[in-house]
Amino acid sequence: MKYNLDVTKEHCPMTFVKVKVKLSQIAIGDILDVLLCNGEPLENVPRSAEEQGHRILETRKDGEHFHVMIEKRVEPPKEN
Protein backbone atom coordinates (compact mmCIF):
# COMPACT_ATOMS: atom_id res chain seq x y z
CA MET A 1 0.00 0.00 0.00
CA LYS A 2 0.99 3.60 -0.43
CA TYR A 3 0.75 6.21 2.32
CA ASN A 4 1.27 9.96 2.28
CA LEU A 5 2.80 12.13 4.94
CA ASP A 6 3.14 15.90 4.77
CA VAL A 7 5.81 17.29 7.09
CA THR A 8 6.24 20.63 5.35
CA LYS A 9 4.81 22.50 8.34
CA GLU A 10 6.93 20.61 10.88
CA HIS A 11 10.28 21.56 12.34
CA CYS A 12 13.12 19.63 13.93
CA PRO A 13 12.75 17.09 15.48
CA MET A 14 9.12 16.43 14.45
CA THR A 15 9.97 16.03 10.74
CA PHE A 16 12.03 12.92 11.57
CA VAL A 17 9.78 11.84 14.44
CA LYS A 18 6.65 11.76 12.27
CA VAL A 19 8.41 9.86 9.48
CA LYS A 20 9.80 7.30 11.93
CA VAL A 21 6.45 6.84 13.69
CA LYS A 22 4.60 6.45 10.37
CA LEU A 23 7.17 3.95 9.12
CA SER A 24 6.66 1.92 12.28
CA GLN A 25 2.89 1.79 11.61
CA ILE A 26 2.96 0.50 8.04
CA ALA A 27 3.88 -2.96 6.72
CA ILE A 28 7.10 -4.13 5.10
CA GLY A 29 6.86 -3.46 1.36
CA ASP A 30 4.52 -0.49 1.83
CA ILE A 31 5.57 2.84 0.41
CA LEU A 32 5.56 6.12 2.28
CA ASP A 33 5.44 9.26 0.16
CA VAL A 34 6.82 12.05 2.35
CA LEU A 35 6.32 15.66 1.31
CA LEU A 36 9.00 17.80 2.89
CA CYS A 37 10.91 21.07 2.64
CA ASN A 38 14.34 21.63 1.18
CA GLY A 39 17.31 21.89 3.53
CA GLU A 40 17.60 19.89 6.75
CA PRO A 41 14.54 17.65 6.21
CA LEU A 42 15.52 16.82 2.62
CA GLU A 43 19.07 16.01 3.70
CA ASN A 44 18.25 13.99 6.76
CA VAL A 45 14.92 12.21 6.28
CA PRO A 46 16.16 10.04 3.37
CA ARG A 47 19.53 9.47 5.06
CA SER A 48 18.03 8.36 8.36
CA ALA A 49 15.49 6.14 6.55
CA GLU A 50 18.35 4.43 4.69
CA GLU A 51 20.33 4.08 7.92
CA GLN A 52 17.34 2.30 9.40
CA GLY A 53 17.41 -0.16 6.52
CA HIS A 54 14.62 1.26 4.33
CA ARG A 55 14.99 2.06 0.64
CA ILE A 56 14.60 5.42 -1.07
CA LEU A 57 12.78 4.80 -4.35
CA GLU A 58 12.59 8.35 -5.61
CA THR A 59 13.19 11.98 -4.68
CA ARG A 60 11.17 14.39 -6.77
CA LYS A 61 10.81 18.17 -6.69
CA ASP A 62 7.23 19.44 -6.41
CA GLY A 63 7.10 23.23 -6.53
CA GLU A 64 9.04 24.48 -3.53
CA HIS A 65 8.78 21.11 -1.75
CA PHE A 66 10.07 17.59 -2.37
CA HIS A 67 8.52 14.13 -2.43
CA VAL A 68 10.66 11.37 -0.96
CA MET A 69 9.32 7.87 -1.61
CA ILE A 70 10.44 5.42 1.05
CA GLU A 71 9.88 1.69 0.81
CA LYS A 72 9.68 0.08 4.24
CA ARG A 73 12.17 -2.79 4.38
CA VAL A 74 12.61 -3.64 8.06
CA GLU A 75 10.68 -3.54 11.32
CA PRO A 76 12.09 -1.25 14.00
CA PRO A 77 13.76 -2.98 16.95
CA LYS A 78 11.36 -3.95 19.72
CA GLU A 79 11.02 -1.83 22.84
CA ASN A 80 14.13 -2.11 25.00
Partner 1 sequence: MAIETKKLSIICFSGDFDKAVAAFTLASGAAAVNWDVNVFFTFWGLNILKKKQGRRFIGKGLLARLFNFLMGGSHNLPLSRLNFGGISPGLMTKMMKKRNVATLQELIESAKQLNVKLIACEMAMHILGLTRADLVDEVKEVIGVPTFLEYSKNGQIIFIS
**C-alpha span between 47 and 43 (Å, rounded):** 7
- Reply yes or no on whether 37 is catalytic: no
Q: Any contact of residue 80 with partner 1 (CB under 8 A)?
A: yes
Quickly list DSSP for 33-63.
EEEEETTHHHHHHHHHHHHTT-EEEEEEEET
Site string for partner 1, 38-67 (x = CB under 8 A): ------x---x--xxx--------------
Which spans of this chain sit near partner 1 (rule: CB under 8 A)? 9-14, 16-17, 19-21, 44, 48, 51-53, 74, 77, 79-80
